[in-house]
Structure 1
Amino acid sequence: MTTMAHETRDVRDEQPGEIRRHELAGFLRSRRERITPEDVGLPRGQRRRTPGLRREEVAHLSAVGVTWYTWLEQARDIQVSAQVLDALARTLRLDGSERAHLFGLAGAIDPTPAASCTTLTPELLDLMDRLEPVPACVQNSRYDILAYNRTYGMLLCDLDEIPPEDRNWMLLAFTHEGWRSAISDLDSVLRIMAAKFRSGMAEHLGEPAWKLVLKRLTDESAEFRELWERHEVVQSLPSKVKHFHNPYVGPLSVVHTDLWLGRDCGARMVTYTPADAVSGERLEALRELATARS
């Protein structure tokens, strides 16, 4: 018989690294047990005894090895990449605080859009609100959407419904059907976006955040993989008219303008001013709709 004395760890004899690994193991286990099979589209089955998901199910959904994930929950001394932690956070449906805790326990830097971006000052957020009904957002150089006003939030889809870690123009353009359906001349836009992303990545080849976006794109989009293999590059284009088909107010013609905010993370404010009177009226209607829903 195993006694309680054998099951209890004596944390007084553990080194900081060991304590961190055990905390990580316990945290993963607790979050795994709260997710039901139905939450992730899996059948429950009749012989399930494990509360929540099984280890092998988490490993499969996160595209990691079962043995490797088991070692992680056993507090083994193994290396965990930011990409794997990101996949686990998605599978386990961690909120922002839980995600930060996961990366902290693993001693890793979360490469997803930084909520603490120094360019997101209260004055800048107020300015975007004052630009209504002109859609405006702040993006960094890898197209993470860091902040946006209400009209922009309903420009291509309901952006509030997208998890913050998925609010990336590249990811949405290649993987989100609602976002894609709002873009006129989608094939041309995707080709340019892939070429611009390759150009931008040349200066960030070793950065986990860029590698994470690239991995998600190559894993989730055959279109992107085909375009990426062409090795096409293009620099940022000057302001130009873009055409969207908004799901709420119809076709829009807008002038895209980048207002650069600093060189630290390539942040810029993107605005879409109406290119004609009809688009101006429709943006005003979109602003009213967004205001009513907020």
Structure 2
Amino acid sequence: MPTQPDRRTDLGAFLRSRRERLAPDEAGLPRTGRRRTPGLRREELALLAGISATWYTYLEQGRDIRASEQVLTALARVLRLDRHEQEHLFRLAGHAPAAEAEEQEPLTGEVAAVPLLLQPNPAYVIDGTYDVLSHNRAAEELFPKLITGADRPANLVRWVFLEPVARDVLVDWEPEARGLLARLRTQAARHPADPRYPRLIDELNANSPQARAWWPQYEVQPRHSGRKRLRHPGRGAIEYAYTAFHLAERPELTLVIYNDDGGTAGATA
């Protein structure tokens, strides 16, 4: 279960990752000679945010200090964080309501039936940790080996990173996997008391070199709709539009529906 020191460490690492990706000229500073470290220096960021360089250093080191909302807003402005990154920053700093570990209620029959009603469009219902709680036959066909009938639930993140066939199904595997990991981090920050998240993250770090390399980069991303290219077992590479809906009474549950619009996105496999 995440502890407060863990959150301070995550806050410092998140700030450092964003500081190192911001070039001085992007922050309005002149480039002066060779720099030993990428991005802004701590002193430069503190100056632009109007705070003490020593105090900011303590914050990045995970010291036991508390940043005000005013300071966090200033840091987010200088670091050019988008809305979702800023929300993540505030949560790590303890300025957002932290959801406690929820008792995992069983999926109601009405909700579980929805993907079945959407056949032949691939559809499934996932929870916050990307466990697949309900799916239809088209989804099982499109994502082979995702639904295995094992003792634990099928999990989309585990499938993407640890199931070799996923690299063939996801035509653009790396950007899709990186985005999924960023969304998992966002979800984990919203549920700091839920032990399922650190268990899943530890499993990914132990078994996936890519997850182990990308997790320290502290990318965050909300769940969203969009388009992705998937390799259908019988029809080859197809560009799918996918739409995500949150259940009103349980917003941590998401219904995802895929539609291929009848088109293909490449040669058949």
Whether 2:140 is the aligned partner of 1:153: answer: yes
Question: Could you say which residue in structure 2 is the equivalent of 1:212?
Answer: 199
Question: Could you say which residue in structure 1 is the equivalent of 2:46?
Answer: none
Question: Could you say which residue in structure 2 is the equivalent of 1:107?
Answer: none
Pair 162,126 (structure 1): closer, same or farther in 2 beyond 3 Å: closer
Question: Could you say which residue in structure 1 is the equivalent of 2:240?
Answer: 254
Structure (1 or 2) with the greater helix fraction: 1
Question: Could you say which residue in structure 1 is the equivalent of 2:69?
Answer: none
2:125 and 2:134 in contact (8 A); partners too: yes
Pair 166,224 (structure 1): closer, same or farther in 2 beyond 3 Å: farther
Shifted more, 161-170 versus 265-274: the winner is 161-170
Instruction: Output the TM-score relative to the length of structure 1.
Output: 0.51
Q: Which runs of structure 2 are paired with 1:1-294 in the superposition (5 Å)?
A: 116-117=105-106, 120-161=107-148, 163=150, 165=152, 167-237=154-224, 239-262=225-248, 264=250, 266-277=252-263
* % identity of equivalent residues: 24
Instruction: Output the TM-score relative to the length of structure 2.
Output: 0.56
Partner deviation per Cα, 1:217-251 (whole Å, 9 max, x = no partner): 111111101100111112223x2121101233322
1:212, CA displacement in angstroms? 1.2
Partner deviation per Cα, 1:122-164 (whole Å, 9 max, x = no partner): 2233332121100110001121111101110111214343525
Matched residue count: 165
Q: Of the two, which has the highest radius of gyration?
A: 1
2:162 and 2:208 in contact (8 A); partners too: yes
Partner deviation per Cα, 1:231-274 (whole Å, 9 max, x = no partner): 1112223x212110123332222111111114546001110012
Pair 215,263 (structure 1): closer, same or farther in 2 beyond 3 Å: farther
Q: Which runs of 5 or more residues in structure 2 are unaligned? A: 1-100
| Counterparts of 1:216 and 1:268, CA distance in 2 | 23
1:205 and 1:211 in contact (8 A); partners too: no
Partner deviation per Cα, 1:192-214 (whole Å, 9 max, x = no partner): 11111111111222211111111
Does the residue aligned with 2:171 lie in a helix, a strand or coil? coil
| Counterparts of 1:205 and 1:163, CA distance in 2 | 27
Does the residue aligned with 1:216 lie in a helix, a strand or coil? helix
Q: Which runs of 5 or more residues in structure 1 are unaligned? A: 1-110, 283-294
2:148 and 2:154 in contact (8 A); partners too: no
1:166, CA displacement in angstroms? 5.3
Does the residue aligned with 2:160 lie in a helix, a strand or coil? helix
Partner deviation per Cα, 1:83-118 (whole Å, 9 max, x = no partner): xxxxxxxxxxxxxxxxxxxxxxxxxxxx9x95x52x
Q: Which amino acid aligns with 1:123?
A: E
Does the residue aligned with 2:129 lie in a helix, a strand or coil? coil
Q: Which amino acid aligns with 1:261?
A: L
| Counterparts of 1:184 and 1:245, CA distance in 2 | 6
Pair 142,133 (structure 1): closer, same or farther in 2 beyond 3 Å: same
Q: Greater relative contact order: 1 or 2 (C-alpha under 8 angstroms, separation 6 or more)? A: 2
Q: Which amino acid aligns with 2:157?
A: M
| Counterparts of 1:197 and 1:278, CA distance in 2 | 29
Does the residue aligned with 2:243 lie in a helix, a strand or coil? strand
Partner deviation per Cα, 1:20-45 (whole Å, 9 max, x = no partner): xxxxxxxxxxxxxxxxxxxxxxxxxx
1:256 and 1:271 in contact (8 A); partners too: yes
2:170 and 2:229 in contact (8 A); partners too: yes
Let me know the Cα RMSD of the aligned residues: 2.5
